[in-house]
Structure 1
């Protein structure tokens, strides 16, 4: 069933960004209806030549609200319903960060990953006023250690609150802590979601991570490519820092994921049997993927010219993104989605980027640069789980759908994390 965002607003009163032209789909996989936006990244308005569109905005929304309230399992017991929503322990199990057991069933497994070092920074727009309390609640529920989180205002003053970005912030912060629990986390909040403000926040995050001795920066946002985006690429060339960006949740590609200095993280669907046992991963059909229209092929992809020609191809890696197999997120103050607040099920490549950034931090390799990390990934592709079946991307147009295959492909890159070795 499909309806316009405006019609959905009339039915359910308060839904994110009523002005969006995004359509919505009903998913019944979580014991009731989940109303989800088809895209968790709303593309910016069309760019004017020469980037006069500096004021255009990135927006990322990734909230999926069950019609029937559900909560994560407690350390002592599983929930009474068969909702297989991913937990820190189940994701650690699937990606081999802890020994696999009990089918990696999120209602059963309880072993969280330990580790993490130095720092991870997250760049988002606007403010989540209760993020420290929400992260503490998330950590307590899943048996994680107390977090070390600093919130930094890139402009020097607290930004306004925006409900869609608030959920994005909770997702990013909570899942970095879930998979790199010993790492310092910097949340750098941009004043708005404009280019100027977001890249000011990127620069601030880079300074913080450099001062911490190196680490990772997660960017769960993106927008249409534009001819002069190459002028922004040097912002991602900082010694000791690796940048990770979501590839997007609509067919095609987005910047900054297409920057050759950024690790582009695509999305997967987690497949389970009726009992909740993990079977495998396939590409999330909505994940952004394809060749860049602006960036030329980097050296680390030189062996892929038969697939991507002379352009930068994304994704490089992938992780869970499908909202139907989404992750738990806690947001105590959000009231946009039918006055929903508390525990939510969230998806999109918004989830994949911080998850891979955190796993990379936990691996402890700390590359000399983003380019160094990407060269390492491509030269060690055998250390990742290769996704060989499924499709993603456009169903019509010049390229058609992209097919997963043996080795690198547009949908999932070299694959998904398999322990810490490849990262």
Structure 2
């Protein structure tokens, strides 16, 4: 009996040891899996291919990080966006609120908290989580960021420009790889550029009278349509001089614009080197849509500042239209950052917001070298890319002719010259709605084609602007002529405010995300011709021609005709819905809110 008890005892001991070893093995395996790192795709710095390493960066320097998170249920979202723009769908123009979008497509509160906890555990300070959960702001030293993301940050030189950048792609724990989309702020290699050209020729550019005559706006004015009830958000990375805006209105016999500044992150609203761009945008919108309200969003020119400014505009949801005249070569922006912005622009589309962005001023060579490239954010499918033309008036101030903007001898920005941006994206596929005569051409490769539309941009037929900011190159006299696709974008934004006003006066909704509608207009016979088809000239590489082309897109606007076609109804032709997707939507979780404050600045400064 005693022997049997001893046997059983030792069997229990052996079993306990085996079980303990197994449990320990599982624990080690789980811990190892939790520590497994995944390198992030699209997070290398493109400029390093051409830059020279100049040394180490101070390990104690502070980095401001913008962590981009992934949208959920993207197949459902794509189907929704298709339905919102399909006049035959029961969801047509049933735009979402920011809360509805967040409930259905944003990362869950639990996912946001996972990211916040990881950053905290790495010693980084979390400054806030955006209300839609797409951005987490944090800061820390270079040493802390290098340890958190297993990177090395170095100093570099490219031409006259110095910058710092991560040598290798950052990595994150595998458990976060389905949540985190991008890590911005590990480098400052990319800064957006204002896409305008100042010409020191006083009072030579077109103003409201000429622009309204050329683009068929006067009939709308005669019907009392001036953009009433419309709000345009103006995306800016600099400030402006309010007195310049006021003086422009006085000189051109316009009402004073209804302006409100919204300062994002550390922006202070002071007028700097980019002020000419800000003033150009505000003044063009004011002369095209005098009764529209303008919200001037001003943020820092950094990855965090750019992301936060776009996201603030969209989550505020106060504007029906966004005008963007700042951009960067798509190739240099990096794929991860482009995808982060794409998520923000998809939310804008779901909320019925039209975004117009300048296509660039270096023609088909947006990176300012010998390689074909296009501009971001104009290359994004949820943004309307606006190219450039040279506009000539007929006798009587009406539309005469246009040709693609191309100035091979203007090499101050690019060695190939200046011209309206256009070409093929290297990141975004051609969307289903981008169809029609000319879209499939000898250059087509299955990628997104830009621009979508065009308008006057050549400085030789530019815009009258008033600017006295010496830091921006403006004369003390104030009167200058400015060109660039950054003038064409606010012209389209102001024109869309007029179209929205006209539609709503006729009991219809605003146009919303406008790209599908523009191609629907071009693909079916309209009672009134919506575009001036630009068929001559080039943008330093691509030739303009009948119908769609990669120099001027669908052409420049006949604003009155677009408005009238809109109230007549636009039949849908071409374009297929995305692959069938589940009709269910995400259910909000009951997990607690991440322990961080909102990554949005409440500071506003009203101007009158």
TM range, normalised to the smaller chain? 0.7 to 0.9
The 3 A distance-change label for structure 1 pair 269 and 156 is same
Distance 2:226 2:460 in 1: 27
After TM superposition, the structure 1 = structure 2 runs for residues 390-405 of structure 1, keeping only pairs within 5 Å, are 390-393=537-540, 401-405=541-545
1:324 aligned partner? 460
Task: Quote the offset at 1:195 in angstroms.
Answer: 2.3
2:304 corresponds to 1:196:
yes
The answer for the alignment partner of 2:101 in structure 1 is: none
Please give the residue correspondences for 1:264-413 in structure 2 after superposition, counting only pairs within 5 Å: 264-272=385-393, 279-285=400-406, 286-303=419-436, 304-307=439-442, 308-337=444-473, 340-364=476-500, 365=503, 367=510, 369-370=512-513, 373-381=514-522, 382-393=529-540, 401-413=541-553
Of residues 412, 420, 423, the one that matches 2:560 is: 420
Distance 2:441 2:474 in 1: 48
The structure 2 residue matched to 1:88, chosen from 184, 208, 229, is 208
Q: Identify unmatched segments of 5+ residues in structure 1.
A: 1-18, 23-41, 72-82, 101-110, 394-400
Superposed counterparts of 1:178-197, under 5 Å: 178-191=287-300, 193-197=301-305
Could you tell me how far apart the structure 1 residues matched to 2:166 and 2:386 are? 24
| Alpha-carbon RMSD | 3.2
Contact preservation (8 Å) 2:467, 2:474? no
Are residue 223 (structure 1) and residue 328 (structure 2) matched?
yes
Structure 1 CA distance for aligned equivalents of residues 422 and 164 of structure 2: 20
Q: Contact 2:262–2:296 at 8 Å: present in 1 too?
A: yes
Structure 1 position 92, deviation (Å): 0.8
Q: Which has the higher helix share?
A: 2
Aligned-partner Cα distance in 1 for 2:224–2:197 = 24
- The normalised TM-score by structure 1 is 0.74
Deviations 1:2-29 (A, max 9, x none): xxxxxxxxxxxxxxxxx9989xxxxxxx
> Which one has the largest radius of gyration?
2
Q: 1:59 aligns with which of 193, 196, 213?
A: 193
Contact 2:195 2:326 in 1 (8 A): no
SS of match in other structure, 2:454: strand
1:120 equivalent to 2:120? Answer no
Distance 1:246 1:90 in 2: 21
What SS class does the counterpart of residue 486 from structure 2 fall into? helix
Question: Against the structure 1 CA distance between its residues 283 and 137, is the aligned structure 2 distance closer, same or farther, given a 3 Å change threshold?
Answer: same
Deviation at 1:63, TM superposition (A): 4.3
Q: TM-score, normalization: structure 2?
A: 0.52
Q: Which residue of 1 aligns with 2:358?
A: 246
Which residue is equivalent to 2:582?
none
Contact 1:120/1:184 (<8 A) preserved:
yes
Distance 1:48 1:341 in 2: 47
Q: 4+ residue stretches of structure 1 with deviation over 4 A?
A: 19-22, 44-52, 272-278, 338-341, 365-369
